[in-house]
Structure 1
Amino acid sequence: MKLIVKKMAALTLCCGLLLTACGEKSKTGEGSGGAAADPNAKASISWLNILHTASPPTDTIIKKIEEKTNAEVKFSWIPDASKEERINTSLASDSLADIVTLTILDNSSVRNALKSGMFWEVESYLDEFPNLAKISQDTRTSASIGGKLYGVPFQKDLARNGVVIRKDWLDKLGLAVPKTTDELMAVAKAFTEQDPDGNGKKDTTGFMDRSDLIYGAFKTLSSYFGTPNNWKVGDDGKMTPEFDTEEYVKTMDYMKELYDNGYINQDFAVTAKTDQQQKFAQGKAGIYVGALFDSKNLKNMAKGVQDNMELVLDNNITSTGNEADRAIWAANNGIGGLLAFPKSEVKDEAELKRVLKFVNDLMDDDMYALMTYGIEGVHYTKDADDAATITNQDLWQQEVQPFASSRPNETGYKIHDSDPLKAESDKLIKENAEHAVLNPAYSLESETYTTQGSELQKIITDATYKYILGKIKLDDFKAAVENWKKSGGSKIISEYEAAYQAVKK
């Protein structure tokens, strides 16, 4: 793994949080001396979960989960769009569940609740369960707050992003897969000016991007220029925000060149992700920057519209052409959140161990297959190499897909997607881990960031867009950075520096 990953892993902290809350209490027996003392006893477990799909799942998969975990599970679903409001309300009213799934750690109410002792510390219990025991120390440290682990970490791939390119367009124009940012710019220029779709019209662009400086093109491109992941730590322990670096400015200049020359959709600053993907699938552009596994969805969306679409995945781009400079930012340092257990619901150690066993069981291979692909022969088929193919897409979306965000671990299982693009993206994402750059501030405490960080970030986000769109000059952007510092940013820096020094001692 890249040196910076090793150096920062001990300093990382889960930044994302997901909520679950539900009124039913855990019942693992008839009192503390009964079945509750037996971690294998049948349990009744409540779990309010986040819903990323249009509607909740039917009971088909839930019944299988209950059967395999020897538990009666009461799910209550919260739409993703309202999770922050609901977590604040649930914490304030102490109306939580046996399992609380948290992904919004930068929310001050959540962070303060975790630090207040409202939830069980679990690290000392993990090694009692085979799957939980496999959670690495780096991951445990990354997901800790103030050195304490208040839940089971959601384990995700460390660095998932890269570039998806129309291979058929490259081939038509005689272009190679780009390995430098200059070559990527040249491809964007050719895709814009040389009629790659052959319709005789100038109606394509190089990039199709969206209004997201993190999960869109900007942050991935910034990795290629050597921009730190949110924060840079000097040898003297001084902290520098990413937007106060030369590399960040180089990224803005690159995006500005794309915009000024029409090599990127001119409405990218107001384009939603769904519109971005649909336009790419319709053949409006040939370069997509985002999660590499989005390629499968893009190809599927193009069926019947761009049936000749061929895609190539590129995760090896630098600004220098030097292999040693390969870098890719790590989203949330590989942590997707916490499965946390409030003391108000999980009353004692015996109940805690039973709920932990339930979470442990969710990490078995057959449970991952169930929550990812569904029931074999009903939702999917599997070949001799454990490659799974969804056979009933509509039924899968209704009964299985909502559980994808509930899997405590998403990596390292035998079963895998049979789709060639998904297989390739899995391979490249695994390769990305060797070049991943972590956020060194994840494990550090800053009260000012907790209370003002999101509001202050708007100053930088607004100035970044204005610079790229040509509405302000570099001096104006630098003035915005100084405004960020005067408005509370300097306090964030000093608080992180103090926290960093405390960790080093």
Structure 2
Amino acid sequence: MKKRSLIIPLSMSVLLAGTVLSGCSQNGQPNATESPKNSSGPAATTAQKQSEPVPIRWVRAANEQDPTKDRILLELQKRLNIKLEIVSIPNDQFANKLNLMMASGEQFDLATVDPGKTLIEWAKNDLILPYDNYLKSGKYPNINAIVNSEVYKGFKIDGKSYFKPLGLAPMQWGFIIRQDWLDNLGLKMPTTIDEFYNVAKAFKEKDPDKNGKADTYGVYTRAGGYADPSITMLSQYIERAYAIAGRTDNWVKLPDGNVTRFEASQAGKDSAAFFRKLVKEDLINKDWLSLKPDGAQGPESDDFGAGKYGIAATTKPDTFVDKLKQLNPNAKVAYLPPLNGVNGVPANLGHSGGYWRGNVIPKTAKNPEKVLELIEYTLTKEGRELTEFGIKGIHFTDVKEENGRIVYTQNKAEADKDWDTKKNGYLYPLAWGAMNYFEYAYIPIKEKNYNYDEAFKNIQPMITSEMATGAFPDYFATNAKYTMAPPLMNVFDEKVLGDQGKLRSAFGEGWLKAVMGDDFEGAWAELQKKWLAAGGQDVITAGQEYYKKNK
């Protein structure tokens, strides 16, 4: 065993927040090089049921659920024959306290953390266990499919899997469009970048609502508060028509098979020129630069409802439709798919990276196989149902599958007893941030023959009966079908990443000058010079070397 060293970075650039499951404080633990011993699967055997529950200590940030009272956690413990202890640490203290626990050798079984430099240090200092040896048994096929997926391969450290990501929607944001405006103008759904421009222009100039007034425009966006204004959802929608997953920080493939950063690519320049055209012709809202993000999407949904514009980016399409219908009951809204791109770029919505933190098993874990059993169970359809909607007959009274969805009729009075529904709504809080983070969905890993990348594109909506009556019950599932990851996704090599803050600032400043100024070509040339000098050239060189070794 390697000698442990105290790892407490002075600057924690990656916020660690998480979850830790563990048994009683004892020093014995399996060696990382040993093969796992036999253990049961998710369905507990008769012998296990008769044995004492296995204690698992769960340390997580800002926990609200009590495993001694919460009926869902009590049911989970019963099904797996475990005894949970949850230790809650405030968010602003979690990173440092968890790092101290790791460095001091405090006994626990599981942590949910962010990837990055600190995680790599833990692995190299032998403070966390690789999953690989345990997966050889074949008892954890869901976990195996996840850690060995294409989209997550960048998380491996020296070829081993230490980090099991929590599956997050590969793309929550999508676009909706006023179908009745298209019909009024005799236009079809835009499928190319040129058609998108023509529709946006017509929505401004051709009186799409037929009220005889010049009071509409094409698309709403907002960039206030961003160091890099090119990362608005509208600009990303445009950028993906020029490169798969095109946007700041991402990599794109070149015709010669190599890769480069999007910021230095022809796709970056062409997409900026297109966005500039929308700005110069007033096809987007004039206050786009001053408007800061609004999690509730209130201002943009209000303006959409008022009929001020016709194309919206949103994660809450039903909110937009409901506001619109209040003023215009006959209005029609449709899903706007991503565009078929230039030079053969397929229609895509890019990829968020598909995770929100992930699970690691510390070297001090006394019962790593029981922890794996817990993780594996929550990835099954049965486990996902329990940790998202609760117990059948208590938290929901009926469940049925229709049109590819699993629809739950909730018993809100019972949910009120087990969690703060005013704060969290009627989705069980541990549906996110525990073993999964894909709200209102099941990732069908088993059903897709344990091909996680394929399962990720074919999520099955798990929604409430109220959501099923909405205009877009399959919104996230539809978005997922268009997701495509760029090269070098989820790679956390410091040389490949570079100084991200410095690079984003340099690109954002230059991009804005090019978009808003009068000399696009001159501004873009200046941007390239400054971005490359800010470390971009070193990042490109490191990334190309990494890609050649690991593709």
Q: TM-score, normalised by structure 2?
A: 0.72
**Equivalent position SS for 1:145:** coil
Superposed displacement of residue 219, structure 1: 1.8
Whole-angstrom distance in 1 between the partners of 2:217 and 2:251:
33
How many pairs does the alignment contain?
467
Whole-angstrom distance in 1 between the partners of 2:296 and 2:521:
28
State whether residues 245 and 351 of structure 2, in contact with CA within 8 Å, keep that contact through their aligned partners in structure 1.
no
The residue type paired with residue 298 of structure 1 is F
**Equivalent position SS for 1:268:** coil
Give % identity.
21
**Equivalent position SS for 1:73:** strand
Paired position in structure 2 for 1:20: 18
Paired position in structure 1 for 2:57: 46
Answering whether residue 360 of structure 2 is matched by residue 340 of structure 1, we say yes
> Cα RMSD over matched residues?
3.9
In our comparison, the structure showing a higher alpha carbon Rg is 2
Q: Deviations over 1:457-482 (max 9, x none)?
A: 22112322333333874423332332
State whether residues 224 and 319 of structure 1, in contact with CA within 8 Å, keep that contact through their aligned partners in structure 2.
yes
Match among 340, 349, 361 for residue 377 of structure 2: 361
Superposed displacement of residue 495, structure 1: 2.0
Paired position in structure 2 for 1:495: 542
State whether residues 182 and 319 of structure 1, in contact with CA within 8 Å, keep that contact through their aligned partners in structure 2.
no
Answering whether residue 226 of structure 2 is matched by residue 217 of structure 1, we say no
Paired position in structure 1 for 2:6: none
Match among 83, 98, 102 for residue 94 of structure 1: 102
Higher helix share: 1
State whether residues 156 and 411 of structure 1, in contact with CA within 8 Å, keep that contact through their aligned partners in structure 2.
no
Whole-angstrom distance in 2 between the partners of 1:116 and 1:188:
55
State whether residues 279 and 285 of structure 1, in contact with CA within 8 Å, keep that contact through their aligned partners in structure 2.
no
Paired position in structure 2 for 1:295: 317
| CA distance 1:176–1:342, shift in 2 (3 Å) | same
Match among 479, 504, 512 for residue 465 of structure 1: 512
Superposed displacement of residue 391, structure 1: 4.6
Paired position in structure 2 for 1:315: 337
Deviates more, 1:189-198 or 1:366-375: 189-198
Deviates more, 1:60-69 or 1:364-373: 60-69
Superposed displacement of residue 150, structure 1: 0.8
Q: Deviations over 1:17-42 (max 9, x none)?
A: 862156x7423999779xx9856663
Paired position in structure 2 for 1:402: 429
Deviates more, 1:270-279 or 1:335-344: 270-279
| CA distance 1:306–1:376, shift in 2 (3 Å) | farther
Superposed displacement of residue 60, structure 1: 4.5
The residue type paired with residue 541 of structure 2 is S
| CA distance 1:88–1:133, shift in 2 (3 Å) | same
**Equivalent position SS for 1:339:** strand
| CA distance 1:113–1:161, shift in 2 (3 Å) | same
Point out which structure has higher relative CO (alpha carbons under 8 A, 6+ apart).
1
Answering whether residue 129 of structure 2 is matched by residue 120 of structure 1, we say yes
Whole-angstrom distance in 1 between the partners of 2:88 and 2:217:
40
**Equivalent position SS for 2:297:** helix
Whole-angstrom distance in 2 between the partners of 1:289 and 1:191:
16
State whether residues 496 and 540 of structure 2, in contact with CA within 8 Å, keep that contact through their aligned partners in structure 1.
no
Paired position in structure 1 for 2:282: 262
Superposed displacement of residue 426, structure 1: 4.7
Deviates more, 1:481-490 or 1:414-423: 414-423
**Equivalent position SS for 1:338:** strand
Paired position in structure 1 for 2:7: none
Whole-angstrom distance in 1 between the partners of 2:349 and 2:370:
37
Paired position in structure 2 for 1:71: 82
In structure 1, stretches of 5+ residues that fail to align are 1-15
Superposed displacement of residue 278, structure 1: 1.9
The residue type paired with residue 27 of structure 1 is C
Superposed displacement of residue 217, structure 1: 1.8
Superposed displacement of residue 317, structure 1: 1.4
Alignment of 1:5-404 (within 5 A): 19-21=17-19, 25-27=22-24, 42-49=53-60, 56=64, 59-75=70-86, 86-87=94-95, 90-91=98-99, 94=102, 98-103=109-114, 105=115, 107-126=116-135, 127-135=138-146, 137-139=149-151, 141-158=153-170, 161-197=173-209, 202-211=214-223, 213-214=230-231, 216-226=233-243, 229=246, 230-234=250-254, 238-274=258-294, 277-282=297-302, 283=304, 284-289=308-313, 294-299=316-321, 304=326, 308-320=330-342, 324-344=344-364, 346-347=365-366, 351-376=367-392, 380=396, 381-383=398-400, 385=402, 387-389=406-408, 391=410, 395=416, 397-398=424-425, 400-404=427-431
Q: Deviations over 1:228-251 (max 9, x none)?
A: 641134476754210111211121
State whether residues 227 and 242 of structure 1, in contact with CA within 8 Å, keep that contact through their aligned partners in structure 2.
no
Q: TM-score, normalised by structure 1?
A: 0.77
The residue type paired with residue 371 of structure 1 is T
Whole-angstrom distance in 2 between the partners of 1:225 and 1:27:
55
| CA distance 1:29–1:111, shift in 2 (3 Å) | closer
Whole-angstrom distance in 2 between the partners of 1:117 and 1:471:
56
State whether residues 241 and 341 of structure 2, in contact with CA within 8 Å, keep that contact through their aligned partners in structure 1.
yes
State whether residues 296 and 422 of structure 1, in contact with CA within 8 Å, keep that contact through their aligned partners in structure 2.
yes
| CA distance 1:495–1:474, shift in 2 (3 Å) | same
**Equivalent position SS for 1:94:** helix
In structure 2, stretches of 5+ residues that fail to align are 1-13, 31-36, 445-458
Whole-angstrom distance in 1 between the partners of 2:110 and 2:289:
38
Whole-angstrom distance in 2 between the partners of 1:115 and 1:472:
50
